[in-house]
Structure 1
Amino acid sequence: MSPVTLIRGANASVTNLLPAVSNVTVGFSWTVVQSNGPATEVVACAIVCGQDGKAVSGEHVVFFNQMLSPDEEVAYDPDGSLPGGDLEQIDVSLAKIPSNVMSIALVLYVNPDLRTPGTFDGVRDAVVRVLDRSGAEALRYEIETKDVGSTSAVVAAELYRRGNEWKFRAVGQGYAGGVRDVAKNYGFTL
């Protein structure tokens, strides 16, 4: 099966593409342009959202410092040997997601602790993709650097529930205020 490549704003059904799959992996990759200043460190995270589009709680923000959501349906994968060129991965057990969860925002941000005020200007080839557990790619979205270059956080994509179906949307929404603006938008504190 060839992966479906999406453009910004497009969506596709994960349920239809992977009908027998209840667990998926979201892979993130990018390239950082080397500079003479501090290196840009990009971080991936997932925000598990309720019906209001906000994080269910602060514990529902999954990243390297909080690696598992409370219901264990979303997990940050710290493995250093990731398949397919992914730099970070987040595992999602679609079958375990409680009915009050409507979406999972998939975010990339420049770590503000290591580079201030770092932006995506130095980031190229950013990709978010959905894989089945065997590592086969089903969906991919190549984030346009021109759309997010001067921002320091981007909601790259979203997994969302539509009836009994799970879908994937290519979002590409940059936030100039970085992860703090993302937190404000999704209703959690850092």
Structure 2
Amino acid sequence: MAVNLSKGQKVDLTKTNPGLTKVKIGLGWDTNKYDGGSAFDLDATAFCLNDSGKVNSDNDFIFYNNKNNSNGSIQLSGDNQTGEGDGDDESVVIDLGQVPAEVQKVAFCITIHDAAARNQNFGQVANSYARVANEATGEELIRYDLGEDFSIETAVVVAELYRHGAEWKFSAVGSGYRDGLAGLCRDFGVQV
């Protein structure tokens, strides 16, 4: 049975799941019904961060135009441009044992593509979540439902997977950004 987290909670991932080598971080969302004239396109992104909370290079920024980190241990599923249907809208698969040693943390984010031009924000998004599943079995291990605490934000740091000694832990973050993907890139050290 999956562990359900609230904002700010952290949980051991590998310690409580011995033998776990590959995980799938599933991200999902629905858009509220509204007539804004533009379709919503939400995107999952991941930032591979060093111990100072920055990327080592722009290759450590994983998004729809760069679906893998440098050694392929972290891979984005693709770009679902509608968010239609049930289940995960986009996902990231991580081979935990192959993640480069300099990567101390992986931040998982959801952004709204062209949010400012389309006059869109996370106040118009519902049922957002992140979940961790065992890639081999599909078993859901951890789930974090974001709730509806956002109104003007156009990007959200949903969760983080981070090293703690030889183990990996998962943290429910739920931190919103007003200036979207550009703000995330700036804070995580990606050259924009």
- 2:23 is matched with 24
Distance in 1 (alpha carbons) for counterparts of 2:7 and 2:60: 25
- 2:127 is matched with 125
1:112 alignment partner, one of 102, 111, 114: 114
- 1:42 is matched with 42
- 1:94 is matched with 96
Return 5+ residue gaps in structure 1 as ranges: none
Q: 1:115 Cα shift?
A: 4.7
Q: 1:108 Cα shift?
A: 0.4
Distance in 2 (alpha carbons) for counterparts of 1:77 and 1:114: 26
User: 1:53 is paired with a residue of what secondary structure?
Assistant: coil
Q: Is the 8 A contact 2:50 2:56 kept in 1?
A: yes
Q: Is the 8 A contact 1:39 1:115 kept in 2?
A: no
Q: 1:71 Cα shift?
A: 1.3
Within-5 A mapping of 1:1-190: 2-37=1-36, 38-78=38-78, 85-112=87-114, 115-133=117-135, 134-146=137-149, 148-190=150-192
Give the letter aligned to residue 65 of structure 2: N
Distance in 2 (alpha carbons) for counterparts of 1:32 and 1:175: 18
Distance in 1 (alpha carbons) for counterparts of 2:177 and 2:115: 17
Distance in 2 (alpha carbons) for counterparts of 1:87 and 1:137: 15
Give the letter aligned to residue 183 of structure 2: D
Identity value in percent = 29
Q: 1:61 Cα shift?
A: 1.0
Distance in 2 (alpha carbons) for counterparts of 1:120 and 1:32: 9
Distance in 2 (alpha carbons) for counterparts of 1:115 and 1:125: 23
Give TM-score scaled by structure 2 length: 0.91
- RMSD, aligned CA: 1.8
Q: Encode CA deviations 1:111-157: one digit per residue, 9 max, x unaligned.
A: 127953421011000000000012110001001221x2310000000
Distance in 2 (alpha carbons) for counterparts of 1:117 and 1:100: 38
Q: 1:184 Cα shift?
A: 0.9
Give the letter aligned to residue 5 of structure 2: L
Q: 1:76 Cα shift?
A: 0.6
Give TM-score scaled by structure 1 length: 0.92
Give the letter aligned to residue 175 of structure 1: Y
